[in-house]
Amino acid sequence: MADDKLIKIAYLYEDLMNTYGDSGDVKILRYLLNKDGYEVQVDNVSLDAKFDANDYDFLFFGGGQDYEQTVVAKDLLRHQSTMKDYIEAGKPMLAICGGYQLLGSYYKMIDGTVIDGLGILPLHTVFKPDSRMIGDTEFETEFGPVKAFENHSGRTYFDDKDKLKPLGKMIQGYGNNPDDGVEGMRYKGVIGSYAHGPILRNENIAKAVAKMIIDNHNARLATPAQA
């Protein structure tokens, strides 16, 4: 397979961050990209792995339970620089639930313990176990309506609402938190969301993400390699 038809996806911590069908997002993208004539290579970037985000056409970061998220957060900081460069360059990424939270500055637990995130995006999350947000969810996005499932006690808030935009406006469910009436986040090529199920079972947003990947792949091929 020629390099111009090989798309590379980095699945961050696939063995630890994969709740409520999140791996289905990658399977759906593989299917759509295969239909467009591309081969797809998915690499699991897990604990202690070497990783250069710019070697990839797409980054996927799924959700995980609190313990796994704590383990991942400690290892993830090694990749802060390469992931920031990738994100700021406008390249595509999908981050779900815990993966979404860890792109922000911190995740505060009920006992006051603070888990440091990557600090790439101006958002933070506060854990509220007494009001778990669970159930079917529906929201309207620039790609059209999305139906999914949410199950989280973390409430995510934007610290810079001029820089970050919501992925969608809530129709049913909670989304980022019970107060703001919005779901997820958009920043350049990054989509963050609490939508499991997986979110890309919604064909409209799945096709939009696949197009983002192909566009980035073509742009990467057109960029001369650095000596």
Catalytic amino acids? 97, 196
Q: From CA 110, how far away is CA 87, in angstroms rounded?
A: 30
* Phi/psi at 16 (5° precision): -120, -30
Q: List the one residue out of 91, 118, 86, 113 whose CA is nearest residue 102.
A: 118
| Residue 163, CA distances (Å) to 80, 82, 86, 127 in order | 19, 20, 17, 23
CA dihedral over 43, 18, 78, 100, signed as positive or negative: positive
Measured from the Cβ of residue 163, the count of other Cβ atoms closer than 10 Å reads 12
